[in-house]
Amino acid sequence: MHIEILQNEEFDFRDITAEGLKEQSGKIIRETDLRIDEIRAINASERTFENTMKATDELFSRFGQVFSTVYLLAYVLLDDDVREEAQKQIAVLDKYANALSLNEDIYNSVKQYSQTAEASQLNSYKKLFTEKNLRDFERNGFALPKEKRNELKVIKDKLSELGLAFDTNIAENEDYLIFSEDQLNGLPEDYKAERKQDDGNYKISLDYPSFKPFMKYAHSREARFKLQFLYNNRAADKNTEILKNVLIERKNKALLLGFKSYAHYGIEDKMAKDASKVWAFETKLEMDVRKKAKSDLAELQMISGLETIETYDAAYYTEKLMREKYAVDQEVVKQYFSLENVLSGLLFISEQLFDIKFNKLDNEKAWHSDVQVFEVIRHGNLKGRFYLDLYPRPKKYNHAAMFPLVSGMQLKEVYQIPVAALVTNFPKPSAEKPSLLPHNDVITFFHEFGHLLHGLLTESPLGSISGTSVALDFVETPSQLFENWAWNFDSLKLFARHYQTNEILPKELYDKMWAARNVGSGLHILQQIFYGQLDMYYHDLFDANKESTSEVVEKLQNQITYYPYIKGTHFEASFGHLMGYAAGYYSYLWALVFAEDIFSVFEENGVLDKETGRRLADTILSKGSTAEEFELLKAFLGREPRNNAFLKSIGLEISSN
């Protein structure tokens, strides 16, 4: 088994063994050590961008290929031994990655190069890449004395262990409830059939395809409460303590590096640049959206007859509101969105917009028989390869995400194409019926495909700044942008067809869907603001000696949202974004402002306009972070970004700042 992909060959996932994973992990560490020695040995006077910066980029990119592949395997494989070994090797590789970020030989080599005459003349991506490397090393402690750097490494290793444990506890959670026939009143028959047990009761798990429909359709308020209570306590027995320790160690790290909090440290290298701008963004948006949220709440109160709408009421009464006031029955809607047609539509729209072609490959080398494999062709050249793993399996990653595996980068004789996997948990087709997606799942598919396109269309010469390797508060812009094609009728009518009659989605039904689009938008945005402010509070204001993480959830949820905190729950224990998006959850709304601004150009020119699509590919999607993200935006827009389109998209009549 060989994980590292060379010369654009397709990797064979079939012969993966636990021993092979361990061997590959050790091999890439040894090879990386040798590459570091080669870079270190270059005389200061002989350093060039090619032999120092490009070599450093290749070093990190090669290591990243193995690390990313092992990471994916830990979340998609059925074999317990291989999956458990992958999780062990993630910890090994993560620790080594921490050591790399604190490697004095690499830092000294980059520092030496930065002081050369050649470096002083750099421009474009080479200048940015060199500056970013120096900044990242200094953010990792190279402005500190050696003993403080060692202290920092201990903290980072501890954080890696804690973070892996936190994520693993969520992924391996298999809690469920058993409900009677009466408690499932209101749920679709196909949903019930999939979960019926031999004794006539029903096993309801907490994965999305099980939990979400239950909360939408189950008439029993008591049953919804029980499932919500269990859902909000996933991994709570382990993860509340882990999270507290994570926050303590992150604060220690920030203080060691000279920042007043982890939020100030974490946001310094983002588009926002400092924590005060994020707080201002969140606070202003909360004020702007509260009027709409109050209106949304009044609608739910009216249709439910309840004075207080609880968390476990929201989806159920929103669905009832959709059916009774806006006449949108999602069970009817999803009959027009078979997964097969949605995928065909995604591929066709992408081909039209970005002048690309998709070729489906044999999946005999994939990690599971359900996985589909495609290659991307643009202008006659192979641009990338991707895997689609669409259906739920035991112990598989239980959300939807794009996993980058190989970064696009220029090698000596060939451009190394990017490789990625898109992992979802859409309902599996049965013998009687295809996989039918609720419209929200269609939106999710388009969202993740936007990430995929961002990764696959890259033309960056360097792997470290290619594809989705952009500022955290920009990375969601292409994905949230692409959601718009799941809403626009001109694109929907290309693929939204009834699975039995092949009838195109009726315009009358679409108009109802569109009218209902912003039902609850104020409540939804408030919920997102709650998540963002919770994340910011934990990383800027939290004091473990004075309050618990759950007390913060209670305080902020009751202060920001209209859904009261459920006593005895610990939502934060399964808030996985706290690991990867520390002091960064705000970035979803931040990036959405840019996404809507970009889409407004397509609305002006036509949502399938090839010239606008090619311009997006050439000015943003292909660039990675070879230029500042604001500059990429302005290059596409031809002006400064603005928020008019975002405010319009959520139904707010507020003038732009």
Place of tokens 């150009």: 601
Rounded to whole angstroms, how far apart are CA atoms 240 and 246?
Answer: 10
Can you tell me the distance from the alpha carbon of 407 to that of 459, in angstroms, rounded to the nearest whole number? 10
CA gap 539, 123 in Å, rounded? 35
As a dihedral over the C-alpha atoms of residue 42, residue 44, residue 47, residue 53, rounded to 10 degrees, the angle is 80
C-alpha pair distances (Å), 13 with each of 31, 37, 151 = 22, 31, 39
The amino acid present at 224, given as its one-letter code, is: R
Numbers of helices and strands, H then E, in the chain = 27, 9
383: which DSSP letter?
Answer: E
φ, ψ (nearest 5 deg) of residue 502: 70, 15
Question: Which of 85, 448, 476, 483 is flagged as catalytic?
Answer: 448
Report the C-alpha gap between 176 and 172 in whole angstroms: 12
Dihedrals phi, psi of 455, to nearest 5 degrees: -75, -40
Look at residue 539 and give its three-state secondary structure. helix
- Determine contact, residues 583/539, Cβ cutoff 8 Å: yes
Please confirm, yes or no, whether 85 is among the known catalytic residues: no
Contact call for residues 172 and 203 (beta carbons, < 8 A): no
Using left for φ > 0, alpha for ψ between -120 and 50, and beta otherwise, residue 353 falls in: alpha
CA 637 vs CA 410, 482, 496, 587, 596: distances in Å: 28, 16, 30, 20, 12
- Alpha-carbon distance 642 to 479, whole Å? 19
Catalytic residues: 448
